Amino acid sequence: MSTPLIDLQFENEKVLMRVDFNVPLNAAFEITDDSRMRAAVPSIQHILNTGGSVIIMSHLGRPKNGPNDEFSLRHIVQHLSDLLHVPVDFASDCIGEEAIGKAGELKSGSVLVLENLRFYPEETAGDIEFASKLAALGTFYVNDAFGTAHRAHASTSVIAQFFPGKKSFGMLMAAEIINAEKVMKSPQRPLTAIVGGAKVSDKILIVENLLNVADNIIIGGGMAYTFFKAQGGHIGSSLCEMDRLETCLEIMQKAKEKEVKIYLPADSIMADAFKADANTQNVPSNEIAENWMGLDIGNAAVLEFREVLLNSKTILWNGPMGVFEMPAFENGTKLVAQAVADATAAGAFSLIGGGDSAAAVYKFGFDQQVTYISTGGGALLEYFEGKVLPGIAAINQA
């Protein structure tokens, strides 16, 4: 990996920093969750404190037809200034005269935010000319936007070629990579992956790739029922992808060949409707009654999964065990979160992989009891699918 940002000094450097300030805004354009902004603060402050200036590049939302005030990054400028305790300037176009002028005059210790990159379709198209115009604004490139690391966009990947020997990961992105590598490249064994959520089709590439590294794979959530169906079980009206039955059998077969243990939930909480106040019963997962559906893992499954987790040294978790948004079906996810926390307390490394699993860990109050919660979403999933992320590759290339 390139030299960590924390070990670099930025005297007289104008650092073009790609961040993920794609924060949620309410109707009054107030930020309703600033965690993505706060995550970038340590990197920005390190650059400012060591004599550099920072030019912030980001996207916000999905503007379709060029500039649109609804998606303007001017809405976040004051808040960034409050977080950093320095004035923050704003250029109302990410390239062109105003940006060139303001970047040129930027003094060390100062911050400039460029307008939303995605007002130009060239950004997501990975246009090299657009990337070169952005590159001309700075002398050093930092990428701290892990959430878009799986995209070969102008500002996340293409731009890096203009900064040979003068580019680095931001601290957030470096932490994401180091923690993901602890699972995929140098895991302490046994390594147990917990994969859940709604669909087999969304998680299939991850499970296939995990077969190459994991010792145990726990499969829960809606996707488990396609596995039970494939093995001849009765799953009532549980979630099922009929076109994936063969895939499930292939995974079970490959796991056997590679001596990876796959754990499916022995029992389930079945419900007579997809409703918080439905009637429920704890039954074997392959004996779900007609017109009933499995909406959570059952008590025996929780105990078995807990045992596996407590014997693990590395844990990766992606996807809930049931419909944890409804209290009647939250127990499996909550108790698996508890088991991950207990395993962590006993010395295991645990990585919570973004999205719904992160939401669940926060919801049930275990966020301080796991090793690392990724901010990564799609980028993390692609990493675990074994793909090379363009945002990482671009920094690692000379």
Interacting residues toward ligand AMP by CB under 6 A: 197-199, 202, 221-222, 239, 294-295, 319-320, 322-323, 325, 355-356
Nearest to 352 by CA among 167, 182, 212, 157: 182
How near is the Cβ of 245 to ligand AMP at its closest, in Å? 17
Strand partners, 317: 194, 352
Catalytic residue of the set 138, 197, 322, 355? 355
199 among known catalytic residues: yes
User: Quick one: 147 or 355, whose CB is closer to ligand AMP?
Assistant: 355
How near is the Cβ of 198 to ligand AMP at its closest, in Å? 4
Task: Calculate the alpha carbon distances from 61 to 21, 102, 158 in Å.
Answer: 10, 25, 21
User: Quick one: 221 or 390, whose CB is closer to ligand AMP?
Assistant: 221
107 among known catalytic residues: no
| Exposure string for 35-53, b = 16+ CB within 10 A, e = fewer | ebbebbbbbbbbbbeeebb
Amino acid in position 100 = I
Per DSSP, helices labelled H in the chain are 35-49, 74-84, 97-105, 121-125, 128-135, 171-184, 200-210, 224-230, 245-257, 299-310, 331-345, 355-363, 378-384, 390-396
How near is the Cβ of 321 to ligand AMP at its closest, in Å? 7
How near is the Cβ of 267 to ligand AMP at its closest, in Å? 13
d(CA 352, CA 134): 34
Tokens of 119: 């007002």
How near is the Cβ of 121 to ligand AMP at its closest, in Å? 28
Nearest to 51 by CA among 13, 7, 99: 13
Nearest to 7 by CA among 43, 37, 40, 38: 43
Catalytic residue of the set 36, 118, 167, 203? 36
d(CA 222, CA 297): 9
User: Quick one: 239 or 248, whose CB is closer to ligand AMP?
Assistant: 239
User: Quick one: 3 or 201, whose CB is closer to ligand AMP?
Assistant: 201
> Residue number with the shortest CB distance to ligand AMP?
197
d(CA 123, CA 106): 24
Catalytic residue of the set 61, 74, 166, 199? 199
How near is the Cβ of 146 to ligand AMP at its closest, in Å? 18
Whether 198 contacts 223, CB under 8 Å: yes
Catalytic residue of the set 61, 233, 377, 378? 378
User: Quick one: 115 or 356, whose CB is closer to ligand AMP?
Assistant: 356
355 among known catalytic residues: yes
User: Quick one: 48 or 204, whose CB is closer to ligand AMP?
Assistant: 204
Residues assigned a catalytic role: 36, 199, 355, 378
